[in-house]
C-alpha cells in the first residue's frame, strides 16, 4: 500500500524546527555539553563522548535510511532519493566515524536524550518529505539550485570533517585540556567546524528546495552559530595570546 503525503505533519515539523532555532537564539545560552558541562554534575548522569554521540546521531541515519530501504528500486536514482542519500551520508559519518574518533568530554545523559529525540524527529521529517511529498522535474539534476546546493553540501562537509580532525589533534587520548586550534578555517574563525556544517545544510536546503530542509538549515544556523559565539568568547577568556583577528563564525565579519 502506497503512502500518501500528509502536508500538515510536514508543516508542523518545519515550524517546530524554526521555533526551536528562534528559542535557542532568544535564550542565548550554550547547550550544556562539551566545555559547558557542569563540573558538579554526578558522574552517573554522564556517558562517554563516543557512546553518547553514537546513540544521539544514530536516528538521523537509521530513520531516513530505513525509509529509503523500503522504497522500490525504480525510485533509486531519482532526485528525491539521491538528496536523501546525501542526508544519510552526513549522518553515517557522524554516527559511525565521528563518534568513534571523538576525544570529547563525558556527555550529560539529559542532553543525549534531547538530542536523540531531535534527531529522530528531524530524520523522520526529512525522510518522509523527500520520499513521499517532494516532486522534482526531470531536469532537476541540471538545475542551478541542485548543482550549487550539492557543491555547498560537499564543501561544507569537507570543511566540517577537516576541522574536526584539527580539533582531535589538539588532544592526546584521555586528555581533557584546551589548546588553540590552528590551520584550515581556524585561521579565520573559532567555529570552523560549525561553519562547515552550516554551509552543508544551507546547500542541502538549496538542493532540495524544500521547507523542511530550509527549517533545518535555519535551526542549524541558530544552534551552531550561537555555539561558535560562545566558543569564541571562551577562547578569548582562556588564552591571552588568542589571535585578535580571528572571528567567531564568519571570516572578517562575525
pLDDT per residue as tens digits for the range 165-199? 999 999 888 777 899 999 999 999 999 999 999 99
Q: How far apart are the first and last CA of the chain?
A: 51
Cβ neighbors of 174 (< 8 A, separation 6 or more) are none
**Structure confidence at residue 120 (pLDDT):** 98
pLDDT per residue as tens digits for the range 192-250? 999 999 999 999 999 999 999 999 999 999 999 999 999 999 999 999 999 999 999 99
| CA angle, residues 203, 249, 19, in degrees to nearest 5 | 65
DSSP string, 172-227: -TT--------SGGGGTBTTHHHHHHHHHHHHHHHHHT-HHHHHHHHHHHHHHHHH
**Structure confidence at residue 40 (pLDDT):** 45
Rg for the chain (alpha carbons), in Å?
19
pLDDT exceeds cutoff 60 at 43: no
The strand pairing partners of 1, in sequence order, are none
Of 230, 206, 197, 223, nearest in space to 20 by CA: 223
**Residue boundaries of the structural domains of the chain:** 41-136, 137-253
Predicted TM-score (pTM) above 0.85: yes
Residues 186, 159 contacting (CB under 8 angstroms):
no
pLDDT per residue as tens digits for the range 61-80? 999 999 999 888 877 889 99
Amino acid at each position: 500500500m502506497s503512502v500518501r503525503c500528509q502536508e500538515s505533519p510536514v508543516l508542523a515539523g518545519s515550524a517546530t524546527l524554526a521555533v526551536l532555532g528562534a528559542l535557542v537564539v532568544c535564550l542565548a545560552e550554550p547547550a550544556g555539553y562539551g566545555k559547558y558541562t557542569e563540573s558538579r554534575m554526578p558522574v552517573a548522569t554522564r556517558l562517554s563522548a563516543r557512546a553518547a554521540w553514537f546513540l544521539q546521531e544514530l536516528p538521523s541515519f537509521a530513520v531516513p535510511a530505513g525509509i529509503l530501504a523500503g522504497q522500490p528500486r525504480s525510485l533509486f536514482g531519482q532526485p528525491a532519493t539521491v538528496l536523501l542519500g546525501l542526508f544519510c551520508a552526513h549522518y553515517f559519518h557522524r554516527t559511525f566515524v565521528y563518534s568513534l574518533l571523538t576525544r570529547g568530554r563525558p556527555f550529560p545523559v539529559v542532553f543525549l536524550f534531547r538530542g536523540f529525540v531531535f534527531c529522530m524527529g528531524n530524520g523522520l521529517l526529512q525522510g518522509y518529505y523527500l520520499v513521499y511529498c517532494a516532486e522534482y522535474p526531470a531536469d532537476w539534476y541540471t538545475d542551478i539550485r541542485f548543482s550549487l546546493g550539492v557543491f555547498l553540501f560537499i564543501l561544507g562537509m569537507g570543511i566540517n570533517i577537516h576541522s574536526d580532525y584539527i580539533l582531535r589533534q589538539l588532544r592526546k587520548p584521555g586528555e581533557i585540556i584546551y589548546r588553540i586550534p590552528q590551520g584550515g578555517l581556524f585561521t579565520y574563525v573559532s567555529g570552523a567546524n560549525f561553519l562547515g556544517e552550516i554551509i552543508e545544510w544551507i546547500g542541502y536546503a538549496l538542493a532540495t528546495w524544500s521547507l523542511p530542509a530550509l527549517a533545518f538549515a535555519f535551526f542549524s544556523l541558530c544552534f551552531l552559530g550561537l555555539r561558535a559565539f560562545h566558543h569564541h568568547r571562551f577562547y578569548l577568556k582562556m588564552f591571552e595570546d588568542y589571535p585578535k583577528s580571528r572571528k567567531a563564525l564568519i571570516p572578517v565579519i562575525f
